[in-house]
């Protein structure tokens, strides 16, 4: 049972979240489908709100399928793979359809047929990233099924789908080929057994362009959603509430690092590789040695490396600002190199600033808003991560 739980992602949706999904099903819908039905939590919540709905479920696990039949006898639940199984014969595209889902968040090896589904749902996809995640295939099939009746998809996805760079192409394709109406961030305390942070996406498949997105946050205690942002976004932009929550505190018109000629690079070698090669590279943990935000490197290792251009990008010199890129226990304070030089690891960013802007950039890093900005911009489940693209959009706080 425990094996199935992990392998099949058997984490049922708690009632308060299932009710939230049900609340977001448009009133014209008459048929509802769940491709990974589990014990029918989502279908039960939908039926509680509207007893006239026709309900269809698909479940791969026979024990869970039995439970689904017991929990909701009125639903037509088939024991099949929700990604490939035939849809129930009573399912009729003349109806308005909503596909609901809290799919398994698991690794899989996709077949050619499944990859076809993925490219049909996301026609401009070129990345291989995310191509082994089952949730993206569930999302793809849900979109294709809903699209036949210009219906709706209401699906829970991991927070990384909303905030991660890996999924930016999927977000972009969603925004260009469908209308994302709402994104509701659901905090980790909503799911008891997994503590996963998730987002509920409400997607209207009747349109092939996203104009306005409503981004909100769900409060587990009050069961209410508070709006964090409403407006237009660029295709592929982040969709998590935490990001936009932080952004409202900063001046939207302030210059950003990218506007003042700042360049950001990172080291080439991991900490382990750099150690094996005896490069003496500066890692995130070394940045703690800084005093008053300054650090003397006093080394000149690694210059024997063949690929000097590559190495030069990964070297820190006086005046450079170093900042951790990722880590679980790192101190997120910028450090200015006072003298000497040394390579940096791939966990460290080197920020190089033209002299005319140096004071303004240094002041921005020392500004109290820097930490608030970092908090809403960095992301990650095990370790916190900041990307180069995001760092370049840091406002020059003053």
Ligand X SMILES: C[S@@+](CC[C@H](N)C(=O)[O-])C[C@H]1O[C@@H](n2cnc3c(N)ncnc32)[C@H](O)[C@@H]1O
Q: Could you tell me the smallest distance in angstroms from the CB atom of residue 381 to ligand X?
A: 17
| Site stretch for ligand X (CB under 6 A), options 31-39, 115-123, 183-191, 258-266 | 31-39
| Site stretch for ligand X (CB under 6 A), options 38-46, 210-218, 253-261, 372-380 | 38-46
Assess 117 for contact with ligand X (CB under 6 A): no
Could you say which of 19, 24, 96, 102 contacts ligand X (CB under 6 A)? 102
Assess 9 for contact with ligand X (CB under 6 A): yes
Assess 320 for contact with ligand X (CB under 6 A): no
3-state secondary structure the chain: CHHHHHHCCCCCCCHHHHHHHHHCCCCCCCEEEECCCCCCHHHHHHHHHCCCCEEEEEECCHHHHHHHHHHCCCCEEEECCCCCCCCCCCCCCCCCEEEEECCCCCECCCCHHHHHHHHHHCCCCCCCCCCCEHHHHHHHHHHHHHHCCCCEEEEEEEHHHHHCHHHHHHHHHHHHHCEEEEEEEECHHHCCCCCCCEEEEEEECCCCCCCCEEEEEECCCCCCEEEEEEECCCCCCCCCHHHHHHHCCCCCCCCEHHHHCCEEEECCCCHHHHHHCCCCCECHHHHHHCECCEEECCECCCCCCCCHHHHHHCEECCCCEEEECEECCCCCCCEEEEECEEEECCCEEEEECCHHHHHHHHHHHHCHHHHHHHHHHCECCCCEECCHHHHCCCECCC
Q: Of 59 and 390, which CB lies nearer to ligand X in the complex structure?
A: 59
Q: Could you tell me the smallest distance in angstroms from the CB atom of residue 221 to ligand X?
A: 21
| Site stretch for ligand X (CB under 6 A), options 32-40, 223-231, 261-269, 322-330 | 32-40
Assess 42 for contact with ligand X (CB under 6 A): yes
Q: Of 64 and 353, which CB lies nearer to ligand X in the complex structure?
A: 64
Assess 135 for contact with ligand X (CB under 6 A): no
Q: Of 77 and 174, which CB lies nearer to ligand X in the complex structure?
A: 77
Could you say which of 59, 135, 320, 390 contacts ligand X (CB under 6 A)? 59
| Site stretch for ligand X (CB under 6 A), options 60-68, 145-153, 163-171, 244-252 | 60-68
Binding to ligand X, residues 331-360 (CB under 6 A): none
Could you say which of 25, 29, 32, 34 contacts ligand X (CB under 6 A)? 34
Assess 179 for contact with ligand X (CB under 6 A): no
Q: Could you tell me the smallest distance in angstroms from the CB atom of residue 275 to ligand X?
A: 41
Assess 10 for contact with ligand X (CB under 6 A): yes
- Which positions touch ligand X (CB under 6 A)? 8-13, 34, 36-38, 41-42, 58-61, 64, 81-83, 102, 104
């Amino acid at each position: 049972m425990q094996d199935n739980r992990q392998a099949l992602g058997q984490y049922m949706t708690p009632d308060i979240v299932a009710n939230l999904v049900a609340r977001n099903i448009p009133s014209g819908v008459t048929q509802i489908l769940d491709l990974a039905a589990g014990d029918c939590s989502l279908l039960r919540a939908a039926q509680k709100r509207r007893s006239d709905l026709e309900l269809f479920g698909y479940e791969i696990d026979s024990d869970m399928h039995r439970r689904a039949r017991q929990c909701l006898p009125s639903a037509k639940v088939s024991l099949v793979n929700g990604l490939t199984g035939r849809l129930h014969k009573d399912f009729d595209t003349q109806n308005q359809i909503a596909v609901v889902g809290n799919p398994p968040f698991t690794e899989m090896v996709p077949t050619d047929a499944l990859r076809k589904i993925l490219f049909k749902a996301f026609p401009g996809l070129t990345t291989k990233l995310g191509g082994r995640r089952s949730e993206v295939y569930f999302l793809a099939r849900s979109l294709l099924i809903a699209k036949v009746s210009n219906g709706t998809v209401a699906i829970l996805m991991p927070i990384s789908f909303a905030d991660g760079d890996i999924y930016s192409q999927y977000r972009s394709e969603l925004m260009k080929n469908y209308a994302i109406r709402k994104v509701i961030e659901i905090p980790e305390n909503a799911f008891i057994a997994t503590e996963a942070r998730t987002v509920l996406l409400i997607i209207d498949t009747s349109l092939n362009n996203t104009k306005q997105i409503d981004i909100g946050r769900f409060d587990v205690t009050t069961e209410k959603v508070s709006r964090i942002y409403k407006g237009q976004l660029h295709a592929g932009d982040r969709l998590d509430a935490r990001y936009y929550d932080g952004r409202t505190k900063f001046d939207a018109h302030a210059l950003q690092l990218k506007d003042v000629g700042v360049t950001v690079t990172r080291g080439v070698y991991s900490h382990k590789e750099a150690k094996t090669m005896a490069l003496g590279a500066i890692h995130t943990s070394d940045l703690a040695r800084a005093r008053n935000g300054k650090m003397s490197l006093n080394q000149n290792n690694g210059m024997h490396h063949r690929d000097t251009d590559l190495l030069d990008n990964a070297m820190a010199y006086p005046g450079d600002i170093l900042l951790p890129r990722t880590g679980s226990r790192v101190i997120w304070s910028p450090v200015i190199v006072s003298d000497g030089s040394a390579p940096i690891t791939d966990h460290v960013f080197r920020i190089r600033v033209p002299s005319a802007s140096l004071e303004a950039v240094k002041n921005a890093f020392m500004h109290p808003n820097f930490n608030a900005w970092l908090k809403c911009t960095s992301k990650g489940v095990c370790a916190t991560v900041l990307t180069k693209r995001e760092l370049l959009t840091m406002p020059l706080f003053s």
